[in-house]
């Protein structure tokens, strides 16, 4: 807490009251001066107010039924954060709701709070004509949008009812493509999820118009078998991902890049990456050649046999890809 202002300097501020001009059970009246024989302390004793009108609404709802007044502190003042307390206060004048809106908003025509944009009914908007909050875009009823005309939240794209979309016209979420009702699609018009293709009802498709999953073709309704070691197998992609062999392979300690903090950098690394003085470190590109070998050496005999029983296992191709001679 900052020390009390004992110079008796007059400090102007703002105070919000209940509709009946009470605050914390104390009755106030415009034009009157109130004094307490106390040393003021924020959130403990004294008459509380804020230097900025917008800060008052951290403690009171932004409600046009509440009363707002311009005040001056005539006694000692204690400050903590954006809140002040004094042992002598004068309620100078009532501030109408219309005047308050011009005080708390830097934009024009706002009925919301703390808007630098214009004609917003929402709060904290730098864009225009938003009913939502924290939008830098325009015409949004959702929140935190940098795009326009979104009813969803956190969209950089436009016309989205979903959330976190950089594309347009999405009712789903996290789509960089357009007109998706599914999730995380970079393609367009997908009701399925995580598709880079278009018009898919299935998931993880790079092709188009598929009902089944993991398709690279088009107009497929059945999940197809996948190839291992350049030969056809009897296993689907879904079965592969659920297999024990895949689970074991996921333990390969791949770390293609690693962030190195400045304290852990060698002199040679600092000379090669002088940007560390600004960034606090650098992104190291790691050699992954030993990752396969480290993984293979960590496996027991049973786990190695599971790997060697992958459909169509070919020792030569396995060596070519992993560097491990079986």
Provide the pLDDT confidence category of residue 172 given band limits of 50, 70 and 90. Answer: very high
In this predicted structure, the answer to whether residue 7 has a pLDDT above a threshold of 70 is no
Is 15 domain-assigned?
yes
**Are 114 and 73 found together in one domain?**
no
**Are 81 and 116 found together in one domain?**
no
**Are 96 and 38 found together in one domain?**
yes
Residue 287's pLDDT is 76
Residue 108's pLDDT is 86
Is 247 domain-assigned?
yes
Is 125 domain-assigned?
yes
**Are 135 and 56 found together in one domain?**
no
Contact between 175 and 183 under an 8 Å Cβ cutoff? The reply is yes
Is 189 domain-assigned?
no
**Are 115 and 74 found together in one domain?**
no
Q: Which is more confident, 304 or 107?
A: 304
**Are 239 and 288 found together in one domain?**
yes
In this predicted structure, the answer to whether residue 16 has a pLDDT above a threshold of 90 is yes
In this predicted structure, the answer to whether residue 30 has a pLDDT above a threshold of 80 is yes
Residue 316's pLDDT is 96
Residue 8's pLDDT is 61
**Are 79 and 111 found together in one domain?**
no
| DSSP symbols for 79-118 | EETTEEEESEEEEEEE--HHHHHHHH-SSSS-SSSS-SSS
The C-alpha angle with vertex 315 and arms to 310 and 318, in degrees rounded to 5, equals 75
**Are 55 and 131 found together in one domain?**
no
Range in 44-48, 63-67, 255-259 the model is least confident about:
255-259
Which of 75, 102, 129 delimits the end of a domain?
Answer: 102
Q: What is the span of the domain harbouring residue 155?
A: 105-164
Which of 164, 182, 200 delimits the end of a domain?
Answer: 164
Provide the pLDDT confidence category of residue 9 given band limits of 50, 70 and 90. Answer: confident
**Are 249 and 290 found together in one domain?**
yes
Number of domains in the chain: 3
Which of 84, 102, 120 delimits the end of a domain?
Answer: 102
Question: Span 267-289, mean pLDDT?
Answer: 89
Residue 1's pLDDT is 42
d(Cα 140, Cα 3) in Å, to the nearest integer? 44
The rounded mean pLDDT for the chain is 92
**Are 160 and 113 found together in one domain?**
yes
Output the pTM of the full model: 0.69
Is 2 domain-assigned?
no
**Are 87 and 35 found together in one domain?**
yes
d(Cα 216, Cα 196) in Å, to the nearest integer? 10
In this predicted structure, the answer to whether residue 288 has a pLDDT above a threshold of 80 is no
Residue 11: count other Cβ atoms within 10 Å of its Cβ: 18
CA 141 vs CA 7, 159, 174, 217, 249: distances in Å: 48, 11, 18, 39, 46
Question: Span 98-120, mean pLDDT?
Answer: 89
Residue 256's pLDDT is 82
d(Cα 148, Cα 132) in Å, to the nearest integer? 11
Collapse the DSSP code of 302 into the 3-class scheme (helix H, G, I; strand E, B; otherwise coil) and give the result. helix
In this predicted structure, the answer to whether residue 5 has a pLDDT above a threshold of 70 is no
- 122-166 tens-digit pLDDT: 999 999 999 999 999 999 999 999 999 999 999 999 999 999 999
Is 177 domain-assigned?
no
Is 36 domain-assigned?
yes
Is 306 domain-assigned?
yes
Q: Hey, which bits of the chain come out as E strands?
A: 11-17, 22-23, 26-27, 33-35, 47-49, 67-73, 77-80, 83-86, 88-94, 225-228, 231-236, 257-261, 281-285
- What share of residues in the chain are helix, strand, coil (percent, to 5)? 20, 20, 60
From the list 185, 115, 270, 78, the residue with the least C-alpha distance to 131 is: 115
Provide the pLDDT confidence category of residue 255 given band limits of 50, 70 and 90. Answer: confident
């Amino acid at each position: 807490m900052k020390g009390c202002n004992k110079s008796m300097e007059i400090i102007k501020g703002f105070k919000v009251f209940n509709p009946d001009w009470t605050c914390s059970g104390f009755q106030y009246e415009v034009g009157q001066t109130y004094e307490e024989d106390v040393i003021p302390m924020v959130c403990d004793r004294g008459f509380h107010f804020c230097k900025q009108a917008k800060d008052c609404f951290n403690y009171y709802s932004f409600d046009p039924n509440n009363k707002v007044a311009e005040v001056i502190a005539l006694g000692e003042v204690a400050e903590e954060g954006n809140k002040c307390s004094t042992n002598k206060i004068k309620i100078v004048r009532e501030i109408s709701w219309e005047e308050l809106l011009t005080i708390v908003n830097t934009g024009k025509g706002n009925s919301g709070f703390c808007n630098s944009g214009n004609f917003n009914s929402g709060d904290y908007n730098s864009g225009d004509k938003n009913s939502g909050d924290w939008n830098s875009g325009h015409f949004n009823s959702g929140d935190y949008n940098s795009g326009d005309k979104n009813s969803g939240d956190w969209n950089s794209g436009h016309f989205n009812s979903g959330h976190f979309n950089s594309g347009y016209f999405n009712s789903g979420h996290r789509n960089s493509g357009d007109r998706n009702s599914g999730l995380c699609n970079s393609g367009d018009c997908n009701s399925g999820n995580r598709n880079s293709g278009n018009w898919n009802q299935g998931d993880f498709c790079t092709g188009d118009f598929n009902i089944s999953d993991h398709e690279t073709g088009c107009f497929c309704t059945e999940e197809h078998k996948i190839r291992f070691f350049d030969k056809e197998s009897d296993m689907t992609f879904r079965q592969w991902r659920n297999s024990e062999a895949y689970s074991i392979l996921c333990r390969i300690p791949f770390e293609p890049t690693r962030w190195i903090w400045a304290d852990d950098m060698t002199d040679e690394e600092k000379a090669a990456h002088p940007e560390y003085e600004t960034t606090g470190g650098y992104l190291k590109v790691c050699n992954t050649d030993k990752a396969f070998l480290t993984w293979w050496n960590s496996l027991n005999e049973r786990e190695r046999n599971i790997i060697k029983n992958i459909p169509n296992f070919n020792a030569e191709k396995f060596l070519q890809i992993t560097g491990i001679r079986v």
